[in-house]
Amino acid sequence: MLSAKTIQIVKEITPAVAANAETVTRVFYQRMFTENPEVQAYFNQAHQHSGGQQKALAGAICAYFLHIDDLAALTPAVELIAQKHCSLGIQPEQYPIVGKHLLAAIKEVMGDGATDEVLAAVGEAYQLLADVCIGREQQIYAAQQAAVGGWNGYRSFVVDRKEQESDVVTSFYLKPADGKAIPDYQPGQYITVKIDHPTTPTSPRNYSLSDQPGQGYYRISVKKEGPLTADAPGGLISNYLHEQVELGDTLQIGPPCGEFTLATDSPSTRPVVLLAGGIGVTPLLAMAKTLVATQPGRPLFLLQAARNSGTHAFAEEVQQLQTNGSKLQTRVIYDQPLEGDVEQQRCDATGVVSESLLREWTPFEDAEYYFCGPKAFMQTVYRSLQALDVGDDRIHFEFFGPRQDIESAAAVG
C-alpha cells in the first residue's frame, strides 16, 4: 500500500507529468541505453525509431499516476505488461535499472519541480508497481514451466513447413527439435522468436499463433514488413524470415504469452464477431478455428479487410472453415482492389469497415467483438462500436502500440 502522502504528491504532479510525459520517456530511453546498453536487446529499435515505444510508455505512466488511488483499474494494463515481459524473459533484477533511469529522467525534465519529496513519492509508487508486475510475472513463469511440454526461456524449434499465404504473408509451421510435447495455448496468444541476425543485433519478436491449439506444431504467419516511417529501416526480422529461413532450419522460440484471448473452455451462446485488418487476422483466425471446432453451434462472424487479392491471406482456409462451421458467416472487403477482384468475386465489397456495415451485418446489441489490425483500421472499428453503444466489456482488441491511440479515436471521431 502507498502512503497517503505519496498518493497526494503523485496526484498533485500528475498534470505536470502528463504535459511532459513523452519528453520524459525520450530522455529515459536515451539515459538507459547509454548507461545500461545491455537492456537494448529487449527493445524493438524500429519502434524506438518511430517513437511508438516512447509514446506507449508515456501513456502507461500517465494512466498509473491517474489511477494511483484505484490500482484495481490498472489490472488489465498490468496483465498486458506482465505477459509482454514474460515473452521477453524480463527478470526482477532488471526493474531497478528502469526505476533508476525513470527517476533521473523526471528530475532532468521537471527541473526544480522534481524535489526530493516528489522523487521519493514517485520512487515509492514505481516500486509498488514493480512489485505487482514481478509477482504476476513469477506466476506466469511458473505456469509456463508446469504445463505439459512447458518451458521457460527459449527452446529450439525446427521449420517443418513454410507456406506462402499471399504476396506478403508466409506461414511457418514449427515443431520442437527434441520431438517432445509442446503446451497448448489460448487462441489469440503469441510466441516469441529470437534470431541472432547475421549483421544487425536486434530484439526478439512476438508473432501471433495463427492456428488452433492441439495440432502438434506452432504456426506463425508473418507479413514481410516495409519501413514504419520514411526514414526508418524495414522489418529486419520479418524480411529475414521470408528470405533466409527455410525448411529444416532451427529457430529459438519462447512459450506462448498474451492476454488478448478468447475463452473457449465454457459453453456460451453469445455471438462472437472477429474483425481483422490485414495481418491482424492471425490471432483472430486461431480464435475462429477453435470456436468452429469446440462450439460449432455458436454464432460467429469473421470479417477480413485487405488491400486486394494480392495481400489477402488465408482466403481458401477461411472458405473451408465456413464449410465446416455451419454458424460461421464471413465477409471480405478490399479497399484497393486489383483488376478482376470485383468481377471474379474475390471480395464481397469494396471500401472500409464502417458503422453502417457493423450495424447491418453483426448482432451489435449482444455480440462480443474482437479486432486487430493497422491503427487506422482499429480506430475506425473502435469509433464505430462506440457509436453503436457497444460496451467496453464487449470490446477486445490487440494493438502493438500505444493503447490510447485507439481509445482516443472515439473522442475525435
Catalytic residues: 95, 137
> Residue 286 in contact with residue 253, Cβ under 8 Å?
no
Tell whether residue 85 is among the known ligand binding residues. Answer: yes
Complete DSSP assignment for 251-304:
EEEEEEE-S-----SS---S-EEEEEEGGGHHHHHHHHHHHHHH-TTS-EEEEE
Tell whether residue 280 is among the known ligand binding residues. Answer: yes
Tell whether residue 157 is among the known ligand binding residues. Answer: no
Complete DSSP assignment for 216-240:
SSEEEEEE----SSTTS---HHHHH
Radius of gyration of the chain measured on its C-alpha atoms:
22
In which element (H, E) is residue 412 found? Answer: helix 409-412
Tell whether residue 370 is among the known ligand binding residues. Answer: no
Tell whether residue 190 is among the known ligand binding residues. Answer: yes
Distance of alpha carbon 387 from alpha carbon 365, whole angstroms: 12
Tell whether residue 399 is among the known ligand binding residues. Answer: yes
* CA angle, residues 332, 337, 339, in degrees to nearest 5: 130
Tell whether residue 400 is among the known ligand binding residues. Answer: yes
Nearest one of 262, 281, 134 to 189, comparing CA atoms: 262
CA distances from 29 to 14, 37, 64, 186, 220 (A): 20, 10, 19, 33, 30
Tell whether residue 299 is among the known ligand binding residues. Answer: no
Tell whether residue 282 is among the known ligand binding residues. Answer: yes
Residues 6+ apart with CB under 8 A from 47: 53, 228, 401
> Residue 368 in contact with residue 374, Cβ under 8 Å?
no
Tell whether residue 197 is among the known ligand binding residues. Answer: no
Tell whether residue 279 is among the known ligand binding residues. Answer: yes
Tell whether residue 206 is among the known ligand binding residues. Answer: yes
Binding-site residue numbers for FAD are 190, 205-208, 399-402
Binding-site residue numbers are 85, 190, 205-208, 278-283, 399-402
Binding-site residue numbers for NADP(+) are 278-283
